[in-house]
């Protein structure tokens, strides 16, 4: 499972999307590895499964926005799978 593939429905507890590339982008406020905000990272352990799934649902949009920005700026790729 990567930040681009959410856990299947019914999986509980919902796993973290963390991939151990932990660095907050100062422009977007997203982690360069999992695309969560610092607040989402901080409260992950107390979120219920529905809240965790909502975070997972936001990650592809964030990843795409960061990739688009990086393409425009010629920035290097981030994430363990070589994607932004």
Query: From first to last of its 84 residues, what are the pLDDT tens digits of the chain?
Result: 555 678 888 888 999 999 999 999 999 999 999 999 999 999 999 999 999 999 999 999 999 999 988 888 876 655 545 554
Provide the domain limits for residue 38.
Answer: 22-75
Q: How many domains does the chain have?
A: 1
Report yes or no on 55 lying in a domain.
Answer: yes
Report yes or no on 44 lying in a domain.
Answer: yes
pTM of the predicted structure, to 2 decimals: 0.78
Report yes or no on 12 lying in a domain.
Answer: no
List phi, psi (to 5°) of 53.
-65, -35
Report yes or no on 64 lying in a domain.
Answer: yes
């Amino acid at each position: 499972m990567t930040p681009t593939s959410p856990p299947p429905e019914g999986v509980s507890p919902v796993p973290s999307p963390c991939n151990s590339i932990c660095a907050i982008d100062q422009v977007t406020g997203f982690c360069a590895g999992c695309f969560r905000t610092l607040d989402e990272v901080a409260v992950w352990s107390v979120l219920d499964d529905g809240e965790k799934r909502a975070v997972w649902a936001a990650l592809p949009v964030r990843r795409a926005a960061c990739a688009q920005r990086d393409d425009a700026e010629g920035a290097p790729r981030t994430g363990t799978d070589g994607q932004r």
